[in-house]
Amino acid sequence: VPLFESMDERLLDAICERLKPCLFTESTYIVREGDPVDEMLFIIRGRLESVTTDGGRSGFFNRGFLKETDFCGEELLTWALDPKSGSNLPSSTRTVKALTEVESFALTADELKFVASQFRRLHSRQV
């Protein structure tokens, strides 16, 4: 995952130890725009569609695709890095749907928050 290429080795190990394998079938909604984001997904195989209306803004529509080495749920990074963020999960900025069968690894919000609290170095420019 390009996001983590220059990350500290110990931090990367801590994240990898907490990843859980996930499988999504074709046409499954992973997350819907506005819903709470409870995990980051790192795609190993498959294709997903990512759509945003920028919170329902009139006339706004953006569509993209995710594949191997891509990820979603990055809203959790800012949440996890903020020591004052509390337990309210961030809202998804997009709807993500599996276009094919998708294999991925998931990092739950609680696990990411734990890793971030243990390694405040995440505040570095690398991320």
- The per-residue pLDDT for 41 is 95
Give the residue from 85, 116, 110 showing the smallest Cα distance to 20: 110
CATH of domain 2-124: 2.60.120.10
Tell me the C-alpha distance between 112 and 32, whole Å.
21
pLDDT reported for residue 73: 92
Tell me what pLDDT residue 127 has. 47
DSSP code at position 36: B
Q: 89 to each of 11, 36, 41, 56, 114, how far by Cα in Å? A: 22, 6, 15, 20, 14
Q: Specify the pLDDT at position 116.
A: 79
pLDDT tens digits for the chain (127 residues)?
Answer: 666 777 778 778 888 899 999 999 999 999 999 999 999 999 999 999 999 887 666 666 788 999 998 999 988 888 887 877 777 899 998 999 999 999 999 999 999 888 877 776 555 544 4
For the whole model, what pTM was predicted? 0.82
CB atoms within 10 A of CB 77: 16
Q: Could you state, in order of their start, the residue ranges of all structural domains in the chain?
A: 2-124
Give the pLDDT score at 1: 66
Position 56 scores a pLDDT of: 62
Looking at residue 8, its pLDDT comes to: 74
CA dist., res. 98 & res. 81, Å (int): 28
No. of helices (H) and no. of strands (E), the chain: 3, 8
